[in-house]
Amino acid sequence: MEQNKEKQFIFDLNEKILQLNNLIETGIDLARFENQNVLYEMALARMVSLTNSSSALIIVTNGTDDDRSEEQITFPPGIPAESILSKTFKIESSFEFRNNLYRFVLSEKETRKGIIEFNELDQMLLDAISRQIRTAIENNFLLKESLEKERIEKELLLAASIQQKIIPDKLPEIEGYELAGENIPSREVGGDYYDCIDMRNGKYALIIADVAGKGIAASLLVNTLNASLYSYLEFDLPLTDMADRLNKLIYNASPPDKFITFFIAVLDSKSGELDVVNAGHNPILFLRKDGKLDKIDAGGIGLGMLDFGIPYQGEKLVMNPGDKLFLYTDGIPEAMNKDEVEYSDERMIEFFRNNAEKSAPDFINGIVEDVSKHVNGEPQSDDITSMILKRTC
């Protein structure tokens, strides 16, 4: 009697060791598969083998109550799922991952004595394989997510390199004037743009623009604007006509939630005459030598907002020695600190007045530093772009 018990104990122990080894091998094998259908088929075969069950089923329920679908995989293939679910002897295990419910069912444990109930070890084995499948699905999801992130990062780097080509590394030198500018995007690619285009014969076009929204879509619109500007400026069109054409172009090229606030000033450097149009952009600041400050906001709606044929209005000014023109985007006055207090138009104007006599590069560096001091380490929420033109003689 004791000898028989010892044999049975050794047999049970060997069976458990074999099952444990098979379970470890199952985990290793399941981790190799990226195709989920292959993963399910292999998992079902291993579940049946480890527990001596006659059939197995995986039910994957996708989505929510409002939009739900169900996938059923059986082993052996071709057995109706209902026949497995209707068996008297069965065990189940399940888990949820990203709004999907994964349910595993084993039916009818087979032995030499016939069909019997599953035991605790069978349930433990099923739960263990269920956990292994979850790990495999999670790892596969994380791998795909990582590859997608890598793809997006590559696209962003490409978009950023393209955008950097249209943001000037060096602004032209204008005899009798000082000019400086800066663009600090809040993301890899931004929606701000500035430039000074040499139109020859002593004329220069100063441009600043801000696309509603950020990212690749905004960058594409900036590139469209840049290419169109260079084309239109070649024909020396009146600025109001050019603004109207740009508005139609951007309207047709952009989704409804995208538009561009835009300011352009064509400078005749010999006479100091400025021909300007402001299309929905922040008021540009014009500080006279005598301390009088004008805000240039004449023009019309942002480019691409509407296409109702509303004409743009231009304005003509004269820049005399000692006058300064300050162009900026709303990333400066709207920069916030941790208490959500904005840098503000008032502080920006005060800085402009108090530092206008500095050299153009020093002024631009100074206002960037002042904004940085205000936000005090808070993440930059918007692009920061500015440009200053000073007439020295």
Q: Does residue 148 sit within a domain?
A: no
d(CA 182, CA 345): 18
294 and 354 assigned to the same domain = yes
Q: Does residue 323 sit within a domain?
A: yes
Q: What is the CATH number of the domain that holds 127?
A: 3.30.450.40
108 and 166 assigned to the same domain = no
pLDDT by residue for the chain (393 residues), tens only, comes to 544 544 444 444 444 444 444 444 544 454 455 556 677 887 788 888 888 899 999 998 987 666 678 889 898 888 899 989 999 999 999 999 888 899 999 999 888 888 989 988 888 888 888 888 888 888 888 888 887 777 766 665 665 666 666 788 899 999 999 999 999 887 655 678 899 999 999 999 999 999 886 666 777 788 888 888 988 988 888 999 999 999 999 998 888 888 999 999 999 999 999 999 999 999 999 999 999 999 998 789 999 998 888 899 999 999 999 999 999 999 999 999 999 999 999 999 999 999 999 999 999 999 999 999 999 988 877 889 999 999 998
Backbone angles phi, psi at 87, to 5 degrees: -65, 150
185 and 321 assigned to the same domain = yes
Q: Does residue 309 sit within a domain?
A: yes
Q: Does residue 9 sit within a domain?
A: yes
Polymer length of the chain: 393
Q: Does residue 340 sit within a domain?
A: yes
d(CA 49, CA 164): 60
181 and 322 assigned to the same domain = yes
Q: What is the CATH number of the domain that holds 240?
A: 3.60.40.10
33 and 78 assigned to the same domain = yes
- Which candidate, 317, 290, 312, places its Cα nearest to that of 301? 312
Instruction: Among 108, 140, 172, give the residue marking a domain's end.
Output: 140
301 and 327 assigned to the same domain = yes
228 and 332 assigned to the same domain = yes
d(CA 344, CA 351): 11
Q: Does residue 146 sit within a domain?
A: no
98 and 228 assigned to the same domain = no
Instruction: Among 114, 140, 166, give the residue marking a domain's end.
Output: 140
- 268: its two tokens: 């005749």
Q: Exposed, middle or buried: residue 338 (CB in 10 Å: 0-12, 13-18, 19+)? A: exposed
Q: Does residue 153 sit within a domain?
A: no
337 and 188 assigned to the same domain = yes
Domain encompassing residue 354: 158-391
Q: How far is CA 110 from CA 5, 14, 107, 347, in A?
A: 23, 19, 9, 82
Say if pTM beats, i.e. exceeds, 0.85.
Answer: no
CB of 241 within 8 A of CB of 232?
Answer: no
Q: Does residue 163 sit within a domain?
A: yes
Instruction: Among 140, 170, 198, give the residue marking a domain's end.
Output: 140
Report the number of distinct structural domains present in the chain.
2
CB atoms within 10 A of CB 340: 7
234 and 378 assigned to the same domain = yes
- Which candidate, 133, 105, 125, 103, places its Cα nearest to that of 36? 133
- C-alpha triplet 345, 348, 349: angle, nearest 5°: 85
CB atoms within 10 A of CB 353: 14
CB of 226 within 8 A of CB of 294?
Answer: no
What is the pLDDT, as a whole number, of residue 13?
A: 43
135 and 177 assigned to the same domain = no
164 and 85 assigned to the same domain = no
